[in-house]
Structure 1
């Protein structure tokens, strides 16, 4: 999400993977003008599932990036520009080795992008690219996995993501650019970084990690230029976005608690050395935060905010949460028949319910999700060995009682119980097929079951295998 003024006044722009904003059909991008939703895109195509991951204001235009091949019929591979009237290709096409853009940032007149890149046949990694007004140029050596976040701290570009090395040297999920090389920040972190922000002159990181500089730091940590420190008791699950609103640090994600502080429910503000809640929070994940006017705006997979209706996007006015119109709705991306019932996967909602669904089976005249279900978008379904194979961008299976069950990118459902093939994928699954006695998954990943597998892998019921060089 971002705020941008096209000449008609500031408006909120929301990107992701959805098909409706308010009453209007739109594909993955919508505009909120302060009173109503306006559609922005009639069509978007991609080899797998098109989606928007980032916005940036640059050169007087709004830049949108993610994963797509065309936008409104215009060829624009994974990055495009909006001039207030129409979508156009970005002036410089991304290198052919790049397909996904995860983040954008303007700094000193240049546009920076964090991307996924094919470094060599069968070898996928990440990189930071810089557009200088005429050419995309690499910023230093590549990383061994995705770059998910960029920020400027202490006059240096800092990158965070899923990488653990740059040019073969340990960098542990976060690194700073000194003008010549990517340098470590202390020992770094012990798992993925999803978001970076600067607050009170310190660099703040959020993500999957539970340690910083080898010390406990649950999902959020602070770098002061010398060492990493935890922020209070941290948060009990993944932090997906950090944002500074009205001088206060706000976190959004999958978390529910901080130490003994209960019921944070996916959004929290750092205040007086503790994480505190904003009303009763949300009923599911917050994935994006921004400021629009004087309000904090949260976007994600929730259907209620502060106990009020708020389909995927809501605003906080300092005391209460309010819906933005009728919100945003996703769509069905996969269908199959399993045990005599029609099963749908995607990110959707049925008319008689405000609950988001990622997997559901048709029962009579309505859709019914299983009691335990994926925590994010499902992209593919197929029946294999008397189970329903489910692939997508989820990282866990949500249940009514207890913590989520880890399940990264792929899971198997027998109609009652779930199982996970090995340790799953280190990215998203977008396609499934039965091949002989095995199930084959294609997507955006570099490992399956902890073994190298570039974008495609085979599960034989016991082990994962790459398909050639991928």
Structure 2
């Protein structure tokens, strides 16, 4: 049998970095992954799945007890060598809480977070000597604290007048804490729409000259602050989804194909994003991970069928988690060794086709295959539609 591959070969030659592999992580996870973090030499994963938190040591998963009253673990953070977790139960309760992992079990810190119809902690971050909780709440333990709070090891405390609506993202850049979210004011200060800066006593305007129509996740990167989901025209420059701020001036790191940024991540001195991007036709979205090459963004790996929510690196590999069920189940690991730079098939008789485990299979789209020829040679090919 001779294998004729002309049409598909041309497609593969243009496929370049997309033909690289996201691989399964020990069967995956059965529901949404919202956050991941390295702690105590393992990768901890939080989400909506049963148990809510798991850890991965490179070969096996360990399950941890459920957090009482928390339906979905939305955030994990390490503070003072201790792992903390928070989240919410939007369809069950107007209360939520923050917990720390002690001797394999969870211990609640401080009182309950409250807000009707539901409350949540969206992000925890270690800042200075404090643990900061941003989310949706207006009291903690009966004390008025609006949507952002600090934990000093003993009590939750307000941060100035707080913020008037949900805090979704937090970032520390140049020793300063920044917040983005759905808020429009801090007390009487209405110059903090969607983004605010903490001056040690109050939430103040990030830039009094600009009203950010939308914001998203942030990242401190190479001395600058990156702000996702910014579509403003600033000083005549379209931000196209990513504004880069050097402390004085703005430049764009965005692209017209970007629809939404879910996460930034820096790994091995390279910047990655989890994003929704426009495909063709424009109403169709692709969910993918992209890498910055210093000039523009290039996709790595295959498309995912649903949102990629979070990125993390562990054991010198890049991981992603989210709502997706394909090409992996809610968590995937990028393996550059699944990549192939040689797409041309030889004009020789093919004895059989196997997958990466050596199991003989029938060819199918979107799969990395190993072709074994009659002369004993082999070639890896990513088979596409």
Q: TM-score range by the shorter chain?
A: 0.5 to 0.7
Deviations 1:348-393 (A, max 9, x none): xxxxxxxxxxxxxxxxxxxxxxxxxxxxxxxxxxxxxxxxxxxxxx
- The yes-or-no answer on 1:301 pairing with 2:306 is no
5+ long unaligned stretches in structure 1: 19-25, 70-75, 322-470
| 2: CA distance, partners of 1:279 / 1:292 | 18
**Equivalent of residue 310 in structure 1, options 285, 309, 328:** 328
Count of equivalent residues: 290
| Paired position in structure 2 for 1:241 | 263
| Paired position in structure 2 for 1:36 | 60
By how many angstroms is 1:156 displaced?
Answer: 0.9
| 2: CA distance, partners of 1:58 / 1:37 | 23
> Contact 1:30–1:41 at 8 Å: present in 2 too?
no
By how many angstroms is 1:320 displaced?
Answer: 4.2
SS in 1 for 2:227: strand
Alignment map for 1:310-389 (pairs within 5 Å): 310-318=328-336, 320=338
| Paired position in structure 2 for 1:177 | 198
Alignment map for 1:220-239 (pairs within 5 Å): 220-233=242-255, 235-239=257-261
| Paired position in structure 2 for 1:79 | 98
Aligned CA distance change for structure 1 residues 107 and 212 (closer, same or farther; 3 Å):
farther
| Paired position in structure 2 for 1:137 | 157
Aligned CA distance change for structure 1 residues 149 and 220 (closer, same or farther; 3 Å):
same
| 2: CA distance, partners of 1:58 / 1:271 | 32
- The yes-or-no answer on 1:57 pairing with 2:78 is yes
> Contact 1:240–1:253 at 8 Å: present in 2 too?
yes
| Paired position in structure 2 for 1:2 | 36
TM-score, with structure 1 as normaliser: 0.56
| Paired position in structure 1 for 2:217 | 195
| 2: CA distance, partners of 1:42 / 1:156 | 34
| 2: CA distance, partners of 1:289 / 1:188 | 30
> Contact 1:264–1:278 at 8 Å: present in 2 too?
no
Deviations 1:264-288 (A, max 9, x none): 7421111121011113342322110
By how many angstroms is 1:152 displaced?
Answer: 1.1
Point out which structure has higher relative CO (alpha carbons under 8 A, 6+ apart). 2
- The CA RMSD over aligned residues, in Å, is 3.0
| Paired position in structure 2 for 1:15 | 46
| Paired position in structure 2 for 1:157 | 177
| 1: CA distance, partners of 2:337 / 2:227 | 27
By how many angstroms is 1:45 displaced?
Answer: 3.6
Deviations 1:423-463 (A, max 9, x none): xxxxxxxxxxxxxxxxxxxxxxxxxxxxxxxxxxxxxxxxx
| 1: CA distance, partners of 2:261 / 2:165 | 19
| 2: CA distance, partners of 1:249 / 1:300 | 19
| Paired position in structure 1 for 2:119 | 99
SS in 1 for 2:277: coil
| 2: CA distance, partners of 1:179 / 1:213 | 28
| 2: CA distance, partners of 1:246 / 1:101 | 30
Aligned CA distance change for structure 1 residues 228 and 89 (closer, same or farther; 3 Å):
same
TM-score, with structure 2 as normaliser: 0.67
| Paired position in structure 1 for 2:166 | 146
| 1: CA distance, partners of 2:328 / 2:124 | 27
> Contact 1:195–1:240 at 8 Å: present in 2 too?
yes
- The yes-or-no answer on 1:292 pairing with 2:283 is no
